C-alpha cells in the first residue's frame, strides 16, 4: 500500500479510468506530487498538479496518483521514496524557489542516488526563454534506482514549460535506467 509520511491523496480522476494490471505493465507509471503548505491544507486549489498530470498522460504516462505534501523536507523525502518504490517517474511541482520554506531540491538531493545536472540546466535554459526569473529555479532531476525524480516549478505555466522541455530526455533516461546498461558506441553518453 502506498503511504507516504504525510500527504493528501487524490485518485487520478481521468474519466473512464479502470485499473488494469496489464495496461500498467505496458505504460510507464508516474506519480505527481504537489509540494505546498497551502494546497496540502486544502486552503487553495492546486492547479499545477493537474496540469502536470495532463501533460504526462498526453505523452502516454499512466499517472497513478496525485499527492499533496507540505513544504516539509521529511514529508517530501518520504513521499519521493514511496512513490519511486512503485512508479518509474516521480514528478514534483513546487518548493523549488529560494525562500526558506522551499526545500524540494534539498529533499530530492537527499533521496536520489545521482543527480542529472544537465536536465536541470535544460529546464532553466528553456524556462529563461519565457522569463529570466527561471534562472532562480533550483529544481533537480535524479534517480532512485531505476526511477526518475523530476522537480518542476510551482506555477502551472512554469511547471508545464519545464516538463515539456525535458520530456524527451525523461523517456530516454528511463530507458537507460531500466537496464540498457551496455555501452553502445552509438550511445551519446
State the residues that interact with a second copy by CB under 8 A. Answer: 36-39, 44, 47-48, 71, 94-102, 114, 116-122, 124-125, 127-128, 130-138, 143, 153-158, 166, 168-169, 172-173, 176-177, 179-189
Q: What are phi and psi for residue 45, nearest 5 degrees?
A: -85, 130
Beta carbon of residue 135, minimum distance to a second copy (angstroms, whole number)? 4
Number of C-beta neighbours around residue 189 at 10 A: 8
H or E segment and range at residue 29: strand 29-35
Residue among 4 and 142 whose Cβ is closer to a second copy = 142
Q: How many Å separate Cα 161 from the centre of its chain? A: 13
Beta carbon of residue 88, minimum distance to a second copy (angstroms, whole number)? 14
Beta carbon of residue 138, minimum distance to a second copy (angstroms, whole number)? 7
CA distances (Å), origin 16, targets 19, 131, 176: 10, 38, 32
Residue among 64 and 69 whose Cβ is closer to a second copy = 69
Beta carbon of residue 89, minimum distance to a second copy (angstroms, whole number)? 14
- In terms of Cα–Cα distance, which of 123, 133, 128 is closest to 163? 123
Residue among 64 and 173 whose Cβ is closer to a second copy = 173
Residue among 20 and 121 whose Cβ is closer to a second copy = 121
Cα separation of 17 and 12, whole Å? 8
Number of C-beta neighbours around residue 35 at 10 A: 32
Amino acid at each position: 500500500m502506498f503511504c507516504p509520511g504525510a500527504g493528501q491523496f487524490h485518485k487520478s480522476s481521468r474519466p473512464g479510468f479502470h485499473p488494469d494490471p496489464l495496461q500498467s505493465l505496458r505504460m510507464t507509471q508516474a506519480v505527481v506530487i504537489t509540494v505546498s503548505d497551502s494546497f496540502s491544507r486544502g486552503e487553495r486549489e492546486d492547479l499545477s498538479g493537474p496540469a502536470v498530470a495532463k501533460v504526462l498522460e498526453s505523452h502516454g504516462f499512466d499517472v497513478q496518483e496525485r499527492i499533496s505534501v507540505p513544504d516539509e523536507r521529511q514529508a517530501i523525502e518520504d513521499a519521493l521514496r514511496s512513490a519511486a518504490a512503485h512508479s518509474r517517474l516521480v514528478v514534483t511541482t513546487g518548493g523549488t524557489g529560494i525562500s526558506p520554506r522551499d526545500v524540494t531540491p534539498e529533499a530530492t538531493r537527499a533521496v536520489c542516488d545521482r543527480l542529472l545536472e544537465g536536465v536541470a540546466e535544460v529546464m532553466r535554459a528553456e524556462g529563461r526563454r519565457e522569463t529570466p526569473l527561471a534562472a532562480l529555479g533550483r529544481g533537480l532531476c535524479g534517480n532512485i534506482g531505476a526511477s526518475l525524480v523530476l522537480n518542476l516549478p510551482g506555477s502551472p505555466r512554469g511547471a508545464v514549460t519545464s516538463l515539456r522541455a525535458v520530456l524527451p530526455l525523461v523517456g530516454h533516461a528511463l530507458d537507460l535506467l531500466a537496464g540498457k546498461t551496455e555501452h553502445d558506441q552509438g550511445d551519446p553518453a
